[in-house]
Structure 1
């Protein structure tokens, strides 16, 4: 068997999965087709139905991964926590099962990994988003530093962290704490954003944030996570103003008082 063109032995690909085995196989095959290999692949399953677990186990002969399961669904936070706990390499590439890497993945990821190993203060490098992080400072190789100050007025400043595909140090949870379990995934992500800012996390953002991944959902396997789309809410100027003021107050309060619920 030939050596892969793109090998990342210090990186574990961590994939969270729930009832979308076809999407998972598509993701694994896409990395294989790009001739990318990782030090380890962990598939963390959140209590999927038996037919999906059977399908995953059937993939094990073709794709080298470790399956971490739970007897019942416990939510995305638990799924990430238990998956991250199984990682043994220094770095983690976190991807949910409905994403697909593009041909540009390998070069951008190699650049990100080189930057990460050189810049010891970095905690995360983000590869995908629905819209650009609002405060960026150009860095190098197509990446920008994310900037955060309390007085920045764009409320999207809070999304300094995101659950979308990213590279992070495998000690990430030791620094920022586990994901809060037993609540909605949006709230879990928000609380990690708060912790990331409070504990002075530092990160980069891929300026061309659609270059490395596509997010694909089908009618057969629709998204299992429902998120509020802030970009499509009312454009009434008065409502927009009220919402903006509320968010500024709420975010600064949560950051100041270490709100965790």
Structure 2
């Protein structure tokens, strides 16, 4: 056993075995010329891709990915409502993970070709080191998804609709002036400190009588997400009304459809 092997063997058994295997594997890939079409290179590429995909999706699913990024010093704006959307929606996690892991595996393997890039003596396996690269690039992947999502929210809040037409044969509710004032005051209280998503949904309902499907399409989300947010708003409105803080006239809307 050489000095390097002895040093690795002094680590916990599982870690030492993995590190030795990684070192031997990397040596073989280098002997093959570090070619992208080499069998061992492709095997490592696919293994890292799948591992990174599973880990990042799991961390997005439980919401810990943001904290893990910040612990590594990678900081970016991530409002709780967006994190909640990410945690609740598999399609969002898939989109972000694909963007993140695809870039991470490409840059990681490119750097791995350098002799001084990875050192088994430092104790991080190739998988662990690769996940660190995924975390480093996660912010860019997150922003790529969040940018269009935020623009849709801003457009909805500003009353800019995309292809939404009024529901036929559904007249708008007729309210007296005093009812309008009460409704507006109550809505302002309900939406006090509310998220952009909640404000956009309410505006689309009140200004355009939009259905849940139309709201979901406009905001780039799902009907289930819209339903969940409306349920929270109804619960808040009920609590405020029960406490006598607000008074709301009975008004039906497309939100129930």
The verdict on a shared fold, with TM-score over 0.5 as the criterion, is: no
TM-score w.r.t. structure 1 length?
A: 0.22
- Per chain length, whose mean CA-contact separation is higher, i.e. which structure has more relative contact order (CA < 8 Å, sep 6+)? 1
Structure holding more helix per residue = 2
Structure holding more strand per residue = 1
TM-score w.r.t. structure 2 length?
A: 0.22
Give the number of the structure whose alpha-carbon radius of gyration is greater.
Answer: 2
